[in-house]
């Protein structure tokens, strides 16, 4: 059986795995899912970068086809990192390690030919809801909607700001956990999550997938990133001055 109906009624269909802001994830069969954008959408970059990183051994679902507004890809079995953290199956430090390891692997891949000097593939939404703990492949990264080439530090800054948004949402279920995870992530970050922080803020504010209310959390999130980023200056400032 295959998904039926237009994207408009997708949320009512039994084949919808996830109804997102800009796209739905539909179950095709046991081996395949379809990412279907609600509106006409250029998926060329998303598809090309998924294939590029897969060819370099990065853990990403295999892409089977990309046509119109639909990407058909391998279905991964297993919880998201967010679900595993919420269920207490993993602790926040392990979660932060998984995030940092995916950054490390992704940014070690040679950029596609013609990319500006120094740029790498950046995912720009590398966070627990987009990491699937696949039974067969281990942690894998989905949701390449925002991916492009750019500085690795921009990717780090976005992960930090996204964790910061959850932390800054004081009434939210995961606020305290997200703050602890942000601190853990920043403590093990290889790179400079502050170097591209302004660009990361701008990217978040212009992300079409932002949910209502999230926009107001972006600046407070950036403040948390500045507060907890382990720079020499901050470490120095914490030490009481000698007489
Ligand atoms: N290849 C896949 N295999 C299995 N589940 C998937 C796959 N891709 C996405 N999902 C599920 O759908 C959810 C949303 O997918 P995602 O690509 O992040 O879309 P969104 O744009 O809505 O954030 C994921 O958190 C995961 O639970
Ligand atoms: Mg997602």
- What is the chain's pLDDT, residue by residue, as a tens digit (243 residues)? 344 444 445 455 568 999 999 999 999 999 999 999 999 999 999 999 999 999 999 999 999 999 999 999 999 999 999 999 999 999 999 999 999 999 999 999 999 999 999 999 999 999 999 999 998 889 999 999 999 999 999 999 999 999 999 999 988 889 999 999 999 999 999 999 999 999 999 999 999 888 888 999 999 999 999 999 987 655 555 566 676
- Architecture in CATH of 7-74: 2-Layer Sandwich (3.30)
Atom number of ligand 1 nearest to Cα 22: 21
Residue of 138, 142, 158 to test ligand 1 pocket, by largest number of atoms within 8 Å of CB: 142
Say if residues 23 and 40 touch (Cβ distance below 8 Å). Answer: no
The pTM for the full model equals 0.91
Q: What pLDDT, on the 0 to 100 scale, is given for residue 6?
A: 45
Torsion of CA 32, 129, 89, 190, to 10 degrees: 120
Residues with Cβ within 5 Å of ion ligand 2? 130, 143
CATH of domain 81-237: 3.90.1200
Which residues' Cβ are closer than 6 Å to ligand 1?
Answer: 17-18, 20, 23, 25, 33, 35, 61, 73-76, 80, 129-130, 132, 142-143, 145, 209
**Where in the chain are all domains bearing CATH 3.30.200.20?**
7-74
pLDDT of residue 57: 97
Distance between Cα 232 and ligand 1 center (Å): 38
Q: Where in the chain is the domain with CATH 3.90.1200?
A: 81-237
Buried b / exposed e over 73-94, threshold 16 CB at 10 Å, is: bbbbebbbbbebbeeeebebee
Nearest CA residue ID for atom 13, ligand 1: 18
- The strand pairing partners of 80, in sequence order, are 132
């Amino acid at each position: 059986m295959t998904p039926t109906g237009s994207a408009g009624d997708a949320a009512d269909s039994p084949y919808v795995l996830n109804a997102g802001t800009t796209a739905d994830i539909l179950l095709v069969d046991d081996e395949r899912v379809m990412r279907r954008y609600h509106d006409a959408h250029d998926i060329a970059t998303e598809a090309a970068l998924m294939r590029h990183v897969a060819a370099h051994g990065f853990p990403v679902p295999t892409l089977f086809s990309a046509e119109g507004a639909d990407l058909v890809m391998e279905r991964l079995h297993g919880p998201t990192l967010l679900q595993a953290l919420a269920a207490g199956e993993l602790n926040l430090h392990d979660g932060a390690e998984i995030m940092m390891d995916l950054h490390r692997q992704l940014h070690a891949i040679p950029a596609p030919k013609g990319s500006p000097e120094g740029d790498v593939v950046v995912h720009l939404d590398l966070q627990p809801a987009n990491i699937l703990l696949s039974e067969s492949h281990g942690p894998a990264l989905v949701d390449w909607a925002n991916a492009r080439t750019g500085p690795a530090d921009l990717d780090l800054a976005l992960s930090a700001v996204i964790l910061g948004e959850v932390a800054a949402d004081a009434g939210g279920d995961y606020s305290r956990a997200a703050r602890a995870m942000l601190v853990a992530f920043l403590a093990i970050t290889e790179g400079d999550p502050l170097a591209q922080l302004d660009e990361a803020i701008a990217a978040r504010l212009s992300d079409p997938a932002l949910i209502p209310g999230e926009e107001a959390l972006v600046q407070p999130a950036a403040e948390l990133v500045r507060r907890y980023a382990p720079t020499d200056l901050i470490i120095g400032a914490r030490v009481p001055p000698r007489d």
